[in-house]
Amino acid sequence: MNNFINAETMEANVPSSTDSTQGKETALKLIGNGCDVLFAIGGDAVNGALLAARENNLPAVGADVDQYNTYPEAQSALISSAMKNVDIAVYNYLKTVADGSVQAGISTGTLQNGGVGLAPFHDWDSKIPVDLKAQIQEASDGIRDGSIKIDLPQ
């Protein structure tokens, strides 16, 4: 099914998630080790990593929100962003408050409940092969309808 992914992953921890300079320095080390796509998570450090990607003409994936809209300095590098749809989570919670069905506990954002998602490809849209977009949509639909099972921590 997948003709596009032949991935080797690298990881590095940033000493402080609130320091974009450390995020950039960490990303530059990964780039120096051959990283060709950056996906950084972890607060403001992400912004530094995205700048490192842009300055080195590498693609990157943003985190938490559609960083194309929130961090324009990195737009040219951003393929997409892995989003936490907090607005939908809050709305769904408030619906349970309003209808009296609210329960204590942990609520996990998933594709099924709209709590997470993939941002648009924006400037990269024409560069993403149509079959890859179809595979992403097929996988997303399969996760949503349950035909593809995802084991989430309990």
- pLDDT tens, 53-101? 999 999 999 999 999 999 999 999 999 999 999 999 899 899 999 999 9
Name the residue among 66, 75, 89, 73 with its Cα closest to residue 124. 75
Task: Answer whether residue 88 is part of any domain.
Answer: no
Task: Answer whether residue 12 is part of any domain.
Answer: no
Confidence at residue 6, expressed as pLDDT on a 0 to 100 scale: 66
Task: Answer whether residue 6 is part of any domain.
Answer: no
Tell me if residue 113 falls in helix, strand or coil.
coil
* Per-residue pLDDT band at 5 (split at 50, 70, 90): low
pLDDT of residue 50 exceeding 60: yes
Whether residue 67 contacts residue 38, with contact meaning beta carbons closer than 8 Å, is answered with: no
Task: Answer whether residue 140 is part of any domain.
Answer: no
Structural domain that includes position 30: 20-83+118-133
Confidence at residue 107, expressed as pLDDT on a 0 to 100 scale: 84
User: What CATH number is given to the structural domain containing 69?
Assistant: 3.40.50.2300
Residue 79 to residue 119: CA distance in whole angstroms: 9
- Alpha carbon of 1 to those of 4, 17, 89, 132, 143: distances in Å? 9, 36, 32, 10, 16
Task: Answer whether residue 53 is part of any domain.
Answer: yes
Number of domains in the chain: 1
